[in-house]
Structure 1
């Protein structure tokens, strides 16, 4: 087997055609985060973005997109904003994980939203990612949800109340009006501040990726803004990533002042209805135990977290860091860890591992 490592934006027409064909041949690979366009968009913003091109006797067999963080830590490409990770390969193709990491010059590769069928011996945990399965159409989805609960009926009651008290509802599936995106960014940034998370929209590389994917006209992978208005007022919006058949639930938000109308859930239902009419067969809500996702889901897919390691020292150091970070808030001790023994192990191994 031959494994070549290049930047995603260096791939030629033959490689891109093969990548897209593997996705078309395998429904489980049709998530837009696995599309070559996503990797290329990230590569234009992230200098350490790479893709391993795997070839066997029959030609190109697969693609393994990744990034290098802190010089020695491998992660899926777009790590931090991607909810579906893994290798895109010909059906039935398998690779030795250690040989793959060696070719990529990675001592360790960490993941948190990996398709659970891949690298199964290296999972530390698995969790269901809830789905809105629209394969039988939106009416069938609504019928299923009505049998399981009252989320649709309750949401529509609140929608009628919103119409009476705020203004007529208007939903735009593919909203090109800057007002919808501007409202979404404001709401989401305020949410990040409230929850003490870093603001994705103010992170330069993320903004660059979003701008490129929003400008794309390729239905295999492009960003779509969907907005609900009450009168002329935006009340909920979502920036998602779509392929021809899958919509990844990505950046949702809503006007907190109108939260009593459950506009966020209404937005999901409107996206499901319009998306189903536009070829979307699945909305991947992303792994979470949020109650609203549990109420909306009618299917699920497992995703895994874990790491593949060929260096005992780095893998152990990373395992220690991960365990400690779960029990510590960011602060003085967290900063000390970066320069302490664990950090020293990682820094001391950089030169030696990079040459392997």
Structure 2
């Protein structure tokens, strides 16, 4: 069904099931996120799984042309899977048939779910900031693992305060202007580093704005910002459940890059998250160096592909799977990763340099 067709009892059951398992404690698996995606994207669907008349699971997904499936949110999200009672196991090809899908690929699947586990091809840890023992316990682990890095970050923070203004941190800010500033930084980062600018798509901006307005005990959007005086220098927008904050869009003003404001922000964010009763910050899998330094735990995520025999499934495999495998090889090799990153940044600089010229050529005066 479409998300909007879920009844009150089904929404209640979804939330009830999600609370039963720590592995499902992720806002991207929340019914609130699925409902928001359904309002913005026509291809979002939900499979409702019943056993003996009782709902035992939900499977949110995207159904694209020719029966090609994608996890809900696709490249935007960092957690996919079944929201189901513990140990539920069904034939995944029956699930695809019921969903009218020929194939689906996962790259951030909750590892170990009985339905999908036989199809997992790459299982790896996603770093988390474990706050279950409180912030003091967390920061002691960080300092013990890399005292030099911690000392350097705190030195840069004091330097920023002296040179730019007193450091101030805003937790769960309702300021829409601050959110737009953050998205502007992130858009600039995508362009500078040669990545696809997600915020060039209006529906993604609308999604983030809608998530920012969400407020409940089990689900909310959380905007955090670091200020030097009255000047914003770094921030993050993510989603949370009652216990977990998931990293989504961290960014900073590149004019303050010499102060390492991004890492500084994450340390403040961890402190306020712990004070707010959250147990962890999920930073998502990826090869960023700062994640390795800040992590004190990990969650396991998997890649998987499930398909039914069909020409479209075969064509999709040829177009997607070899590229994904190559990406994994690059990400796992530090030398290749740095080389690829340099190429993307060079492309980003060239693209930025050409953009003003192109705009001028299209102006009446230039013509």
State the TM-score, normalizing by the size of structure 1: 0.87
Aligned to 2:333: none
Aligned to 2:109: 114
Q: Distance in 1 between matches of 2:212 and 2:200?
A: 16
Q: Distance in 1 between matches of 2:32 and 2:57?
A: 16
Aligned to 2:181: 183
Does residue 38 (structure 1) correspond to residue 37 (structure 2)? The answer is no
Deviation string, structure 1 residues 252-286 (Cα, Å, up to 9, x no partner): 00011111111101111111100111121110101
Secondary structure of the structure 2 residue equivalent to 1:44? helix
Aligned to 2:134: 137
Gaps of 5+ in 1: 1-5, 330-356
Gaps of 5+ in 2: 328-339, 341-367
Q: Distance in 1 between matches of 2:194 and 2:36?
A: 27
Q: Distance in 1 between matches of 2:192 and 2:161?
A: 29
Q: Is the 8 A contact 2:132 2:279 kept in 1?
A: yes
Deviation string, structure 1 residues 161-191 (Cα, Å, up to 9, x no partner): 1111111001001112234212212211111
Residue among 227, 230, 249 paired with 1:229: 227
Which segment is superposed worse, 94-103 or 291-300? Answer: 94-103
Structure richer in helix, relative to its length: 2
Q: Flag the 1:20–1:94 CA change in 2: closer, same or farther, 3 A.
A: same
Which segment is superposed worse, 305-314 or 181-190? Answer: 305-314
In the TM superposition, residue 99 of structure 1 has moved relative to its aligned partner by 0.9
Q: Distance in 2 between matches of 1:35 and 1:138?
A: 26
In the TM superposition, residue 110 of structure 1 has moved relative to its aligned partner by 1.1
Residue among 249, 256, 277 paired with 1:251: 249
Q: Flag the 1:311–1:191 CA change in 2: closer, same or farther, 3 A.
A: same
Residue among 93, 99, 102 paired with 2:94: 99
Secondary structure of the structure 1 residue equivalent to 2:302? strand
Secondary structure of the structure 2 residue equivalent to 1:260? helix
For these two proteins, the number of residue pairs brought into alignment is 324
Q: Distance in 1 between matches of 2:86 and 2:124?
A: 24
Deviation string, structure 1 residues 126-152 (Cα, Å, up to 9, x no partner): 222110011111000011111111233
How do 1:325-344 residues align onto structure 2 when only pairs under 5 Å count?
Answer: 325=323
Q: Is the 8 A contact 2:243 2:277 kept in 1?
A: yes
Q: Is the 8 A contact 1:170 1:230 kept in 2?
A: yes
In the TM superposition, residue 221 of structure 1 has moved relative to its aligned partner by 2.1
Residue among 117, 125, 142 paired with 1:128: 125
Aligned to 1:210: 208
Aligned to 1:19: 14
How do 1:291-302 residues align onto structure 2 when only pairs under 5 Å count?
Answer: 291-302=289-300
Secondary structure of the structure 2 residue equivalent to 1:191? helix
Q: Is the 8 A contact 1:125 1:306 kept in 2?
A: yes
Does residue 7 (structure 1) correspond to residue 2 (structure 2)? The answer is yes
Q: Distance in 2 between matches of 1:211 and 1:255?
A: 20
Which segment is superposed worse, 22-31 or 38-47? Answer: 22-31
State the TM-score, normalizing by the size of structure 2: 0.85
